[in-house]
Amino acid sequence: MPTYDHSVTGEDIIRDALLLVGGVAENEPVSGQATTDALRALNNMLKSWQNQGLHMWARQEVVVFGVKSQERYKLGPASTDAHWTDEEGFVYTKINGAASSGASTITVDSVTDMTVGDYVGVELDDGTRQWTTIDAINTSTLVITLNTALTDDVADNLSVFTYTSRPQRPLRLVHARRGQYDGEDIPMYMEPQEEYFDQPNKTTAGTAVFAAYKPTLTSGTLYAWQPVNSVKQVMKFTSERPFADIDATSENPDFPIEWAECITFNLAARLESQYRQLDGQRRNELLIMADNMLEEAKMFDTDPGSWYIQPDRTR
């Protein structure tokens, strides 16, 4: 039977790179300091490749839960950031029977895919959404116990959103949609920040038409125009996430296996100046091979969809 489970670890990549540049002999172990230095160089290289703006495997679909009349949203994993999550982790349902202000339980249509500790957002009668966490779930009665009591009445059939965790800060947002949780998605524009700041009125709520994104250092800033006029509205984005760190040499890189040789040769090219064991010809050959492998990997790492050209509507 054929197998398809070949993988490489950080240790494999480092050793192979050092063998290429003569930094270690075939039967010689890699020293602890050499490993530490090479691992740092490896992480630095992979992080720098985030600038390429490709990497289809690192794209994820995310959902930002609209807040009525809110213009900006912080996107990151901090507890003070906006309520947002991976689209696959977004669970929605409806209230099944009204609940009164002060109640700490709600009955819903479904508790499928919910877990204790998840964030839960309950649409209130006053048109806001109250966020808290799930304290308990009764799968028989479909009753959710909330960690914070309701601050307003809740009518039957109002929406309930849940999710487990916030993603990492996006590097970029490359595609946008809007819609209600149970409706169709409508395309939104992704525009430069200047387009948002040039709007004369940024506070009047309505339907979100376009978004702009600033990847600030800790949590990115999402600008929505117009601000949504209902907490039923959600905004969905195709996000480019950061690559995960290789914290230990036993870990696999956050890359498809097709990139393994490319990563190895490019790490070797970076380490060569540290060891200087290659003559000029071999060094040039290594640099050329590393560049060629990177270009080949980038060519494969593209979306095979169609290209569309349209006029710039902002001019």
pLDDT along the chain (315 residues), means of 10: 96 97 94 97 97 90 96 97 96 97 98 98 98 98 98 97 97 93 88 94 93 94 96 95 97 96 98 93 96 93 64 59
Please tell me the predicted confidence (pLDDT) of residue 310: 63
Q: What is the pLDDT of residue 309?
A: 63
pLDDT at 313: 57
The predicted structure's pLDDT at residue 315? 54
- Among candidate residues 259, 300, 258, 284, the one with its CA nearest the CA of residue 45: 259
pLDDT at position 302: 75
Per-residue confidence (pLDDT) for residue 181, from 0 to 100? 78
At residue 184, the pLDDT reads 86
> Which pTM value belongs to this model?
0.89
- Tell me the three-class secondary structure of the chain, residue by residue: CCCCCCCCCHHHHHHHHHHHHCCCCCCCCCCHHHHHHHHHHHHHHHHHHHHHCCCHHHEEEEEEECCCCCCEEEECCCCCCCCEEEHHHCEEEEECCCECCCCCEEEECCCCCCCCCCEEEEECCCCCEEEEEEEEEECCCCEEEECCCCCCCECCCCEEEEECCCCCCCCEEEEEEEEECCCCCEEEEECCHHHHHCCCCCCCCECCCEEEEECCCCCEEEEEECCECCCCEEEEEEEECCCCCCCCCCCCCCCCHHHHHHHHHHHHHHHHHHHCCCCHHHHHHHHHHHHHHHHHHHHHCCCCCCCCCCCCCCC
User: Cα dist. 58→5, 121, 239, 272 in Å?
Assistant: 20, 28, 8, 29
Structure confidence at residue 105 (pLDDT): 98
**Residue-range domains of the chain with CATH:** 10-54+253-273 (no CATH), 58-82+168-240 (no CATH), 88-163 (2.40.30.10)
